[in-house]
Amino acid sequence: MPGMTEQLTKRQQEILAFVESETARRGIPPTVREIAAHFGMASPNGVWCHLRAIEAKGYIKKEPGASRGTSITRIPGKAGAFPLVGEVAAGEPRLAVQSDGEALTLDEASGARPGDFLLKVKGESMTGAGINPGDMAVVRPGGDVSNGEIAVVMVGEEDATVKRFYMERDGRIRLVPENPAFRPVVVDPRVMHVKIVGRVVGVLRRY
């Protein structure tokens, strides 16, 4: 909503910026304790109060019961804007790097809805699915991904990749490219940290 930026206090703006930057840098939002530590706040209760206020003003959405369940729904000063939070590899897993805070205003035809965000695609492993280098994947955050759907997945603590997702019967996760020049990535979440960042619900391309 135009003018909503004035409703955020200085500290709320700082917390929102920190959530956005950490989500971009790590591919996952910070926990309440991490936010408290960053701002030198003695108790997480103060962070909760700020987050509830920021959510009430329409900038974030909190997933109940999830320690990292904060997703950005609006960029201050840009109604209908979706954050471009970084890059994700369509190839070998690599670090998702922070963007310069760019945001795009999308209409309903893009398939985006509040809470989604954008990741710029690097690499060519998903060209068979129509996802090319430089495209922007519209990502719906959360772990609700079915076999065969395209997802952004964290492998290890900081590496992110976009692939077709499959959960094997033995508990391993298989991440399958859409380019015969690339091999599937198979990981065992029992021995390596794996997190589903979100499901790819659309692709945008600039010409």
Q: Say what angle helices 44-56 and 10-26 make with each other, to 10 degrees.
A: 90
Token pair for residue 121? 């695609």
Catalytic residue among 71, 120, 122, 163: 163
Q: Is 125 a catalytic residue?
A: yes
Catalytic residue among 62, 67, 125, 146: 125
Token pair for residue 2? 């135009």
Q: Is 195 a catalytic residue?
A: no
Cα-Cα-Cα-Cα dihedral sign, residues 39, 5, 7, 86: negative
Quick count: other Cβ atoms within 10 Å of Cβ 77?
12
Percentages (nearest 5) of helix, strand, coil residues in the chain: 25, 35, 45
What are the catalytic residues? 125, 163
